[in-house]
Chains A and B, each alone.
Chain A
Amino acid sequence: MPWLSTLIGVSVLGALGVTLVRNDKLAKQFTLAVSLVVLALTVAMAVQFSPNGDKFQFAETYNWIPAFGVHYGVAVDGIALVLILLSAVLVPIVVLASWHDAEAGKRSVRTYFSLILVLEAMMIGVFAATDVFLFYVFFEAMLIPMYFMIGSYGGAQRSYAAVKFLLYSLFGGLLMLVAVIALYSIAGKGTFMFSDLVGTIQDVTTQKWLFLGFFIAFAIKAPLWPFHTWLPDAAAQAPAGAAVLLVGVLDKVGTYGMLRFCLELFPEAAKFFTPLVITLSVIGIVYGAIVAIGQTDMKRLIAYTSVSHFGFIAMGVFAMTTNAGAGATLYMVNHGFSTGALFLIAGFLINRRGSQYIADYGGVQKVAPVLAGTFLVAGLSSLSLPGLSTFVSEFMVLAGTYEKHLVFAVIAATGVILAAIYILWMYQRTMNGPTAESVKTLPDLNAREKWVVTPLIALLLVFGFYPKPLLDVIHPAVKDTLSSVSVTDPAPAVPVAKEGQ
């Protein structure tokens, strides 16, 4: 069964179907149903994935533009699989969370939900693409639905934010296009298939230039310091659901691209640029956290925490140890759940009071204990509290980086202190203290909102104590990636007698 094409196809057909439904309520229900079907199919596919089988599974390849060797090629390895799972899990949650979000403006409600499904198709496509050209197409096309979601349904400054997001991303994308075409012609294989292109560029100088073309695009997408300033604007102006998809999934394409393309296609260049990239990541970790502390706007604060977290992911990718790489991949998934929960709950709060400013709140815990409690759990996941899945990934990234880049790991680890400051201070200012006059009548979470929050928190908890199912899938893929870069993990200074060996 062509699993991946089915996933993409169902989403696209669903998106078309939504536009045909006349009734807004029915359209929402239809969207939710489609996204749940996609989730069910994705889970069914994931169950059949064999972690120790072929690197790429469920592969489908058809000629698309034979003259240039462009294919419609999709397949997944462990890394892509968990990211597709992340997308498939987040979409129904976002749909449910955005139930009334699109009704405020004058724009069509149905279009909003249709855009979500279009986006889902593209998210799955971009992670599944095994043809570099196809990847590029999805990479750029993803911008379109997101542009409309921000620009048409966002906050007061939406058009500034949407244009900034679009132009910044397009700029990066064009650099990548140049690199993609150069890769095609220099490799001289007459094909864009990823597996055929691996190892074809031997000249180190060429590798460096092509690496930069890809890397800058991914660094803007991720976003890595100092290419991050579009993110706070976009995330603060986007509706909460769109912000979740933007930060939770779309930005992961950047870090995913670094792991898949930058490392495997240009191993020598990746090693050459490692100090630079890790330096940028570490600056991003500390800098993002410090700037987050100083924010007065809740959504901007959460966006800056993500800048810090993306620093961790990029550092893990370029540390080039198994633990750091697997940790970074797991981090991408966990960060989606964690930031998703934070954005959505902050969104619920903002919808109730009509303000994004922290100073307008205070003492919410007294009037809305469930909202405050779930917000705290989401916040704790952002500061990587053990017991929540984000801890596992942060621990792995830091420990894995420490094996090779001691100083960087130590500086990055100060992020755990800063994270406590930005989360708990925000929590204190919004939820603790005497109840502010303006929030005295805020209702607590309703049933729909509880349904939104519950799965996210459950996932954070389950993978916090039992991340093995994900890691079992991720580990072989990361090992394979690292072996194609031909790096090995440093050996222990003092070998110990392991049980059962």
Chain B
Amino acid sequence: MTTHYLVLSALLFAIGGVGVLVRRNAIVVFMCVELMLNACNLAFVTFARQNGNLDGQVIAFFVMIVAAAEVVIGLAIIVTIFRTRRSASVDDASLLKY
């Protein structure tokens, strides 16, 4: 029964992962990261259900809060970069290197 949920979670995670790797638009990359986080949340909730305790659900809440905080900071950075460079491509922002 729970297998289906886990497969779905894995699929979502894979889609998110591929998105992060192949897309250049920062907003899309960001959304893919959110997708991966939520895939994890789904897995956590599934396991919580399967094991009959609340640990997984608690962690899911933590992840949501972290994700919310991340959105606040991440979007702010993306918007700032877009304003200064007129581009939202992650490949353009490569100044921080050796």
- Taking the complex as a whole, does A directly touch B, i.e. does some CB pair lie under 8 Å apart? no
- The residues of B with any CB-CB pair to A shorter than 8 Å are none
- The residues of A with any CB-CB pair to B shorter than 8 Å are none
